[in-house]
Amino acid sequence: MLYSFDLLGIALLILGVSMLTDAGVLTITLPVLIGVGLFTAALLLWVLMRFIRQRKIRVRGGQEQLLDSRATALYAFHGRGHVRLQGERWRARSKAPVACGEVVSVTRVEGLTLHVSPVAQPPKEGAEP
């Protein structure tokens, strides 16, 4: 996905240098000129591909990283409490009651407060339905 202006710039670079060599100002052979043009095009393509790949990578920091993360309730609470997320203690708010040690999911981040909801736990083996 090379942009047309980039290709035009490389073509004009080669054309300009070839015009200077024809006028006798520079003494560069045609193979060197073509090699420099191909190297420039390859470098440009590599940089553009890195930028495109970088835009597709999901954000790994800040508040976006915390969304949908799993945290553990430090004590039972309903409304306000504290959870442990990634080794840190966070203030939490929940509309549903949360038991001590229960795993919760982060639904929203508001400043330094996490809005959480309990995660449905699969039934333990041997438990009756």
Structural tokens at position 73: 């309730």
Query: For residue 125, which phi and psi values (nearest 5 degrees)?
Result: -65, 140
In this predicted structure, what is the pLDDT of residue 7?
A: 73
Task: Name the pTM for this structure.
Answer: 0.50
Between 77 and 27, the higher pLDDT residue = 77
Instruction: Answer with the residue of higher pLDDT: 81 or 121.
Output: 81
**pLDDT band for position 125 (50/70/90)?**
low
* pLDDT at residue 1, as a whole number: 46
What pLDDT digit, counting tens, does each position of 47-62 carry?
A: 888 888 888 777 667 7
